[in-house]
Amino acid sequence: MNIQAIREQFPILNQEINGHPLVYLDSAATSQKPRSVLDAMKRYYELDNANVHRGVHTLGSRATDAYEGAREKVAKLLNAASTDEIIFTRGTTTALNLVASSYARSACSEGDEIVITPMEHHSNLIPWQQVAKATGATLKYIPLQPDGTISIADVEATITPRTKVVSVMYVSNVLGVINPIREITQIAHRNGAVMVVDGAQSTPHMKVDVRDLDCDFYALSGHKMCGPTGIGALYGKKSLLSKMEPIEFGGEMIDHVDLYESTWKDLPWRFEGGTPIIAGAVGLGAAIDFLQEVGLDEIDQHEKRLAEYAYTRLSQLEGLTAYGPAHNRVGLVTFNLEDVHPHDVATVLDSKGIAVRAGHHCCQPLMRWLNVSATARASFYLYNDEADVDRLVEGLLQTREFFGHAIG
C-alpha cells in the first residue's frame, strides 16, 4: 500500500488545524471520504437525480440502476447468497433495531434468553434491553477476560437451549478486540439461537464472508468505510427475513393497498419504506469500489501492523494505560493518561492538529468494567501510517508535560 498516494485521494486530509498538518485519528467514529465517493454522489445529483422503482423515464431508470447496483455491491462484499438478503438502512443502529423489533419481539417470550457481551456499543445493547422488557425474556452477558477478550468456554457456559438470540460485535470500538464470531455462531446454532453480528467496526477493515461465518444477521454502516453518513445495510438470511414483518410502512414497501388491508412487496423492498437513501447508496457503492481497489486484505494487514506499533509505543509512555489485548486487534488504541482527563488530552492534541476521540464511546457498561468514566481513543485507517502514530506520541508527551507543570 502506498499510503501517501491513498492519502492524496482524501481532500479533507490536506489541511492544517491550529497551524499544524491534520492527523486524523478518529476513523472509528467516522472515516473520511475519498474523492471517488464525493464525485459519485455529485454526479448522481447533477445527472441522475430521480426517485427509484417508480418512474419509467430515463432519469428514473438510471437512478434505479444505480441504487440496485449498490445493493449488488454490498451483497458481493459480504458474499451474501442474494441481493434479496440486503436491506438498506440508515446505518448499523437502524439495522440492529430492525432485527430486535421485527424478529426478536416475535421470537422471544417469557423465560427465553438473549445473550450479548458487556463490550457492546449502546446500539447493540439497548434494543435487546427493550426486547427483554417487552417479552419477559432474560438478558444475559458473556463475561470478559481481564484483557477484554472472550473465551469460548464462557460462551458455551452462557448460551443455553433457552437462548433465542445471540448478538455480538465483531470488533470492539473500545478494546480493538476481534471476537471469534464463527465459533460463537456455531455454539448459538447448536442451542437453537440465531446469531446477530454488529459489523460496524469490522466491515471497513477486513474481508467479511457472512456465509462462512454462518451468522443470521449482519449490520454495517457506510460512513465508517469511506462512504457517506446516513446509509448502511442489514444482511439477513432469506429464510428469516421472509418471515419478518416490516416495522415502517408506506411508499416503497407497498404492494397493494385497500381501505382496510394492505400487502407488502417482496424482499428486500418490504423493509425500505418511503423514498430510499438513493444518493447514500450510490456513495456506499463507490466506497466499496474504492476499498476493493485498494484491497481489503492489504488494509487488514496494514492496520494490524499499525495497531501493534501504536499499542507498543503508547504502552511505553510513563503514566499511560492502554486497554485491550496487545495482539489480534484492529487499528485503534484506547488509553488514559494518568491524572489527565481524556477530554483534556483530546483538547491539547487538537491544538497540535491531532484529532482523537474522548468520552465513553457509547459503551458505558464497558467503561464501568474498565473502572473508568471515560477514555481517549486513537483509531487508524488506510490513510494513516507510523508517522501519524509518532505525532500522537509526541503530542501525548507534550500533554503530560503541560499538565505536569500545571499540577506542580
- DSSP assignment of 95-109 equals HHHHIIIIIIHHH--
**Rounded to an integer, what distance in angstroms lies between the CA atom of residue 180 and that of residue 191?**
17
Q: Which of 108, 215, 362, 363 is catalytic?
A: 362
H/E stretch holding 166: strand 163-169
Number of Cβ within 10 Å of residue 260's Cβ equals: 5
Q: Which residues on neighbouring strands pair with residue 236, listed in sequence order? A: 217
Question: pLDDT in tens for each of the 408 residues of the chain?
Answer: 899 999 999 999 999 999 999 999 999 999 999 999 999 999 999 999 999 997 789 999 999 999 999 999 999 999 999 999 999 999 999 999 999 999 999 999 999 999 999 999 999 999 999 999 999 999 999 999 999 999 999 999 999 999 999 999 999 999 999 999 999 999 999 999 999 999 999 999 999 999 999 999 999 999 999 999 999 999 999 999 999 999 999 988 999 999 999 999 999 999 999 999 999 999 999 999 999 999 999 999 999 999 999 999 999 999 999 999 988 889 999 999 999 999 999 999 999 999 999 999 999 999 999 999 999 999 999 999 999 999 999 999 999 988 875 543
What's the whole-model pTM score? 0.96
pLDDT of 406 reads: 54
Structural Rg of the chain based on CA atoms:
22
**Rounded to an integer, what distance in angstroms lies between the CA atom of residue 21 and that of residue 15?**
6
As a residue count, the chain comes to 408
Catalytic residue status for 362: yes
Cell of 235: 444482511
Burial class (CB in 10 A: 0-12, 13-18, 19+), 321: middle
Using DSSP's 3-state secondary structure scheme, residue 179 falls into: coil
pLDDT of 288 reads: 98
Cell of 207: 474481508
pLDDT of 408 reads: 36
pLDDT of 405 reads: 58
Phi, psi of 375 (to 5 degrees): -145, 165
Domain positions in the chain: 3-25+296-407, 37-293
Question: Number of H helices and number of E strands within the chain?
Answer: 15, 17
Q: Which residues on neighbouring strands pair with residue 168, listed in sequence order? A: 197
Cell of 220: 454495517
The class that CATH gives domain 37-293 is alpha beta
pLDDT of 407 reads: 44
Q: Which residue has the cell 484491497?
A: 295
- Rounded to a whole number of angstroms, the distance between the first and last alpha carbons of the chain is 45
- Per the CB < 8 A criterion, the answer to whether 218 and 197 are in contact is yes
Positive or negative: CA dihedral 37, 40, 45, 51? negative
**Rounded to an integer, what distance in angstroms lies between the CA atom of residue 170 and that of residue 197?**
6
- Per the CB < 8 A criterion, the answer to whether 111 and 162 are in contact is yes
Q: Which amino acid is at 61?
A: S
- Per the CB < 8 A criterion, the answer to whether 198 and 208 are in contact is no
Cell of 347: 483538547
Number of Cβ within 10 Å of residue 140's Cβ equals: 18
CB crowding 24-46: b at 16 or more within 10 Å, else e: bbbbbbbbbbbeebbebbeebee
- CATH superfamily to which 3-25+296-407 belongs: Aspartate Aminotransferase, domain 1 (3.90.1150.10)
